Amino acid sequence: MGETMDDMEKLRTGTTTLGLVCQEGVVLASDKRATMGYLISSKTALKVARLDDHIGMTIAGGVGDAQKLIRWMTGELEIHRMQENKPMKISAAATLLSNVLSNYKFYPFFVQLVLGGYDSKPRLFNLDMAGGITEDKYTATGSGSTFVYGILESEFDENMSMKDCLHLAAKCIVAASKRDIASGNGITIATITKNGFNYLTESDIEKLGKSV
């Protein structure tokens, strides 16, 4: 049986991801639950992807579509680095991804993406399935974003330290997991600074979770 529009909507929205810009860099975070309608299909889904040493992306939506875009972007960034002998700028990578999504808008990738990274400064972009692109200081995607935005609107500050942003990211994912049935089963957090892309360890995330 083929996917109905209701099925596609569940695939497109069932998760919580977010991105924050702070003084030292960018924080990307997500929950770990993957769903198929009302079924929890995975409790260890990785929704924060490293694309290069200086750039990452969160994914919400159809898993196959998201994985294809991750592979495609990783390859394009590697080719650019080899040909130009330098990494691609964050804004250029966001524009490249936007163009890909726009070219397929009549047969779209069912995804919502947050792309962030650090070149001369931290940058963060939100991209929809039709290729729409917006630069933000903070953003969220998925069914849990309704709960996340309420917290971000009241607590985010552009002058926050990395430590404060990590605490805020964990607080947002915990809040979404308590109220959104499609979000939960833990937290993934990554930081991107001038020193590169780094995943927080399970013990570090556990400490953040206990403090919120």
Active site residues per annotation: 15
Nearest to 30 by CA among 142, 109, 126: 142
Residue type at 191 in one-letter notation: T
- Tokens (6 digits) for 14: 């069932």
Which value, to the nearest 10 degrees, does the dihedral of the CA atoms of residues 148, 157, 208, 114 take?
50
Residue type at 148 in one-letter notation: V
Rounded CA separation 170/23 (Å)? 18
CA distances from 60 to 17, 26, 66, 82, 87 (A): 7, 18, 8, 30, 25
Residue 44 backbone phi and psi in degrees, to 5: -130, 30
Instruction: Identify the three-state secondary structure at position 145.
Output: helix
User: Are the beta carbons of 111 and 47 closer than 8 angstroms?
Assistant: no
